[in-house]
A and B are shown apart, each in its own frame.
Chain A
Amino acid sequence: MKIVVLVKEVPDTWGERLLDLETGLADRVSSERVIDEIVERGLEFAISFAEKNDGTEVIALSMAPEEATGTLRKALAMGADRGVLIVDEALHGADITLTAQVLAAALEHIGFDLIVSGDQSTDGAGGVVPSAVAELLDIPQLPRLATVDLNEKEVTGAHVTDRITLSLSAPLPAMISVSERFAEPRFPNFKGIMAAKKKPFEVLGIAELGKNISVLDRPRSIMTEIAGKPPRESGVKVTADENSGRDLAEFLKKNQLI
C-alpha cells in the first residue's frame, strides 16, 4: 500500500500572520513556518496505519519553496518513509488550480493507492485543492473525514459536520481529506527526529514530473483589491441586569450565531 500525504507548510497559527500587501501572498518571512496542523492529523492516520500494516509506504509530498525542506522533514520525523518536495521558480505565487495541477502530476509520478490531505489549510482556507487534485486524477474523493478505515481494496470513513454524519466509502485508488475532528497527531519522538535526516528526500522541479505544465501563458486568477486587516473594534458589552438575557439572545440572533 502506497499512501501519499499532501503536506502544506503554513505560518504558525500561534504567531501573527501577515499578507504582503504588494502581492497579496502570505508573508513567509514574518512568522515561523510549520506543517499545517490539519495535515499532521492526516499524517497521523497514514503513519499509524503503516505501523499496523507491514508493506505500507508513507510518502510526504509538498509543493513549496526550498526553505520548506525543514518542515517536510518533520513529517519524516513523525514517521513518514520518504519526502518529495516540488520546488520551481515558476511556481512562485501559484494559485489553487496550478497547485492542484502540479500536485496531480507529482502524484502520478510517484504512484499511489491512497492520497491523504487536510480538508482545508489554516492559512488560505480554500479547501478546494483536495477535490481539484482528485478531479484531475479522476479518482473518488471522501472529504472531511473524522474517522477513516482502510483495507487493500477500499477506504471508508465518517464525514461529520455540525448537521450531519455520513458514512462514505470508495474503492482504491482514492483521495481522502481529514477534518479537525480527526484524531490528535503524535509528537515526533527523539528517535524519529534523528532518523528523519537519514530518510530519502527528493527535490523535483516541474520539468521532472513528466507532464507539460504550462505556467505563465495567462493569469489564472487576478487579484483586484487587497487591504490590511481592519483594526479590532471593541466588542458589545451586555451588562448584567434584568434585560441581559434578552439582550444576549438578540445579539446572538443578529449575528446569526443561533
Chain B
Amino acid sequence: MNMSENSVSQEDFVEILGGLRQFIREKVMPLEREIAEGDAIPESLRSQAKDLGLFGYAIGQEWGGIGLDPVQEAELAIELGYTSLAFRSMFGTNNGIAGQVISGFGTDSQKETWLEGIASGDIVASFALTETGAGSNPSSMRTKAVTTKSGWSISGEKRYITNAPSADVFITFAKVTDDAGKSAVEVFIVPSNSPGVTVGPHDKKMGQAGAWTADVHFDEVAVTEDALVGGKFGVGYRAAMTSLAKGRITIAALAVGQAQRALDESLSYAAIAKQGDDIIGNFQLVQAMLADQQVGVSSGRSLVLDAARNYASGADTRIGPSVAKLYCTEMVGRVADLAVQIHGGAGYIRDYFVEQIYRDVRLLRLYEGTSEIQRLIIGSNLVKQELASN
C-alpha cells in the first residue's frame, strides 16, 4: 500500500477541518436544543453527517473511509467536541473500537463484509465489552463463546452499550476456553439480527441526551466460524486493547473541544451580563475563573496533540494516551464547573449550554477506562519501564 496515496495531505486536511467547523457552527449547533429535548439526533442531521464522511473518517480510503492519521483524528475530535457530544457519539463507535478492530486486525473477508458499510454509515457498529462486574476489569467477564459444529454459540449479558438500539453489528467480547482448558477473551463480530440477540430499552442517562445506550443480551447466539476477529485466537483482544488506547486520545480531544466551548460560552456571557453598572467580565475574580479555564484548554490541547504524535510514531502507545485522557477529562470537569459558576444562577438553567456541558462531560471520566484505571495504566507502565531499564 502506498501511504502517500491513501493518506490525507495537510493541505486537504486544513480544508476538511475548516469545512467541519463550518458544518458544526451552521448545522449542528442550531439543533443542540432539539437534540437534548428530543433525546434523538434528527434524521436529516444524521444523513448530512453521513454525506460529509463522518462515519468513516478513521477508516482507510481503500474501504471508502477518509483515512485520517491519529494526529488529524485528534484535531477533528477537538472540533467535534465543540457541540453536543451526542452528535459525535452517533458515529463514534464506527470510527472507534468497532471499526478499528476490524480494519486493523480483521481477516480479509471480515473487512470486505463490513468495512465499506461501516465507513459509509450504512452500517452502525457497536462494541460490547462491559458487563455487570466486568467494566474496569474485563477479564472477569462471563459472556462465553463455545464451539459448535458450524462456528460459535455466544451467551451473556452486556450493559451500557453505546448505539446498541441502532446497531447492525456488535463487536462482542466473550471468553473462550481452549482444548487445554485455558480461557481467554476473544472478540466476535455478531450481526444484531442474529437469533438470540436482544437489546433492552435505552438507559435514562445523566447527560448526552440523544446518544443511546442499552443492555444487550446474547442467548445462545449462533455465529459462523468467520465471526472470530482475526480468524485465530489471540488476535482480537490485543486488537481491542490497541484500539482502546487510541480511543483514549479521542476522548481527551473531545474533552478539549467541550472545554473550549465552555470557555467561549463563559466569555460571551461575562461580556454582556451586568451586576450594577459593570459587566461581570470586569470583575477580577471572574477574570481569574476565565484565566483558569484558558489554562486548562491550552494545556489540554497541547497534551492531546503531543500524545497523538507519539502514538502515530509509535514512540508511546500506552502511557501518553492515558495521560491525555486522565488530564483532559478531569480538566474539562473543572472548566465546566467554572463555566456554571461564571454564569451564576443562569448556569443552572437548561437554557444555557453550560448546564448541559456540566452534565455531558461527566461521562468522559468514566467510560473507555475510568480515571482510576488511567492512573493504574500510567503508574504500572512507568514502573515496568523502570524495571526493564535496570
Contact = CB atoms under 8 A, between A and B. Distances in A.
B57 A190 contact: yes
A77 B51 CA distance: 13
Interface in B1-33: 8, 11-12, 15-16, 19, 22-23, 27
Contacts, number: 32
Interface residues of A, number: 10
A193 B51 contact: no
Contacts of B22: 187
A193 B12 contact: yes
A187 B15 contact: no
Interface in A111-167: none
Interface string B41-54: 00000001001110
Contact of A193 (B19, B27, B48, B57): B19
Interface residues of B, number: 15
A207 to B, nearest CB: 31
B66 interface: yes
Nearest to A197: B12
A186 B19 CA distance: 11
B66 to A, nearest CB: 5
Contacts of A77: 15, 19
A194 B12 contact: yes
A193 B18 CA distance: 11
B12 A189 contact: no
Contacts of B16: 190, 193-194
Interface in B202-248: none
A205 interface: no
Given A77-B15, A193-B12, A193-B15, A187 B53 contact: no
A191 interface: yes
Nearest to B66: A190
Contacts of A194: 8, 12, 16, 66
A24 interface: no
Nearest to B57: A190
A188 interface: yes
Interface in A174-233: 186-191, 193-194, 197
Contacts of B12: 193-194, 197
A187 B27 contact: yes
Nearest to B23: A187
A187 B8 contact: no
Nearest to A74: B15
B51 A186 contact: yes
Given A193-B12, A194-B8, 13 more contacts: A77-B19, A186-B51, A187-B27, A187-B48, A189-B51, A189-B53, A190-B16, A190-B57, A193-B15, A193-B16, A194-B16, A194-B66, A197-B11
20 contacts: A77-B15, A77-B19, A187-B19, A187-B27, A187-B51, A187-B52, A188-B19, A189-B52, A189-B53, A190-B19, A190-B52, A190-B53, A190-B57, A190-B66, A191-B53, A191-B66, A193-B19, A194-B8, A194-B66, A197-B12
